[in-house]
Amino acid sequence: MKEMDHDEALQLFTQHAFKSDKPIDDFEDLKEDALHYAGGLPLTLKVVGSNLYGENRKYWKSALEKYKRIPEENIQEKLKISYDGLDDFTKKIFLDIACFFKGDEKEYVTKILGGCGFFPDDGIKKLIDKCLITIGEYDRLMMHDLLEDMGKEIVRQDSPEEPGKRSRLYFHEDVHEVLEKDKGTKHIEGILINLPWGHRKIRLGSEVFAKLERLKILIVRRCDESFCGRLNYLSNELRVLDWPNCSLEFLPTSFHGEKLIVFDISGSNIRDLGRGLQSKASIFIFNIMSICLTFKNLTNIDFRDCGDLTNISDLSSCSNLEKLILYGCKSLVEIHDSVGFLDKLVELRWKDVPA
C-alpha cells in the first residue's frame, strides 16, 4: 500500500479531523503526533482523523496515547480504536455489514437491521461519519477490505478455537465444520454459506439448526447440500431467509417466520412451507403444493422458478410487502386476489406463470 507524503497526509487528516483545510490552532501541537501514529496510509488517516473530529484536547491526548502503544505496522489495531468507541448497536451493524451485507443497497440493509432492533439510520450515519463505511454507486454500503478483515477478525476472536461459539459464521471451512458436525450453539446469530466452486457436498442432519435459537440471518449463496431426512427446526428469530435453490421440499412445521423481512427461496424444490405459517386468526385450506403467508414484517418475497408451487394464498396480512417475484413458477394456477390490495407493493413479476 502506497503511503502519502507529509503534506498530502496532513491535508487529508485535516479534512477529516477538523472538517476544514486548516487545523484549529488549539490542536496545532497534537496534529503532528496524530499524523505520526496514523502513518501515511489514506485509510488510517481518514479513520483516525474522523475518530478525533469534534473532540476536546483531553480526548485527543487519551486517544493518541492508545495509538502510540500500537506497533507501527499493526494497521488493524489502529483502525479498531474507532470501532471500540462505538455503541453496542452500531458495533453490531458494522459486524453485520462486514460479514454479510457489504455491497448491498442501503435501503435493503436498513430494513433488515431495523427489524433486528439495531437502529440502523443512526448507526449507519455514525459509521459513515467515522469513515468505517462509505456509500458507493447505486446507494450501496461499501467498506475498505482492511476494515472488512478487521470486522471478521473481531468476530473470530469471540471464540478463536470453536467457530460454533461465534456470533457470525462466514468462512466456508468454519461453516462446513459447524454445520456438518453439528457444532452450532445459541451464540450464532448469522450464517453465510458460500462454498467455493468444486467444494465437496455438505451433508446436513435434520437437527442441524436445532441449537441455533438466536439465528437471525441465514444467507446461502453457493452450497451443494444434501439433507438426511426432513429439516426439523429453523429459528423463529430469522429476519433473513435467503436460500435460493434450496433442496428441501418442506420447511419445519414449527417455523412461523413472523419476524421475517426477506424471504427468498427462488429456484427451490419447496412444495409446502409448513402449518406454522398459516394465519392464527383464520383457517385456510392448505394445499400440499401451496404457500400461505401471514408475515406482517415481510418486505421481499422471491419464489421465482419454484416449479412445484400451485397456489399463492391470502397475502392480506403481509401489509408491508414491497416486492413479490413469481416468474417461472410454471405450476402456479392460482394467485389470491389479496395481491391486488397490497398498498406498499411496488414490484410484481409473474412472467411464465399459467395463472
Spatial CA neighbour of 232 closest among 286, 182, 306: 182
Among 151-155, 174-178, 347-351, the minimum mean pLDDT is found in: 347-351
Give the model's confidence band at 281: pLDDT under 50 very low, under 70 low, under 90 confident, else very high.
very low
- How many residues are recorded in the chain? 355
Spatial CA neighbour of 269 closest among 295, 292, 243: 243
283-299 burial, b for 16+ CB within 10 Å, e for fewer? eeebeebbbbbbbebbb
Q: How far apart are CA 132 and CA 129, in angstroms?
A: 8
Kindly state the percentage of the chain with pLDDT values over 90: 65
| 232, 212 Cβ separation under 8 angstroms | no
Among 30-44, 116-130, 285-299, 312-326, the minimum mean pLDDT is found in: 285-299
Grid cell, residue 137, equals: 454507486
Average pLDDT, the chain: 88
- This prediction's pTM: 0.90
- 24-49 confidence digits (pLDDT tens): 888 988 999 999 999 889 999 999 99
Q: Averaged over 280-287, what is the pLDDT?
A: 35
Grid cell, residue 235, equals: 429459528
Give the model's confidence band at 267: pLDDT under 50 very low, under 70 low, under 90 confident, else very high.
very high
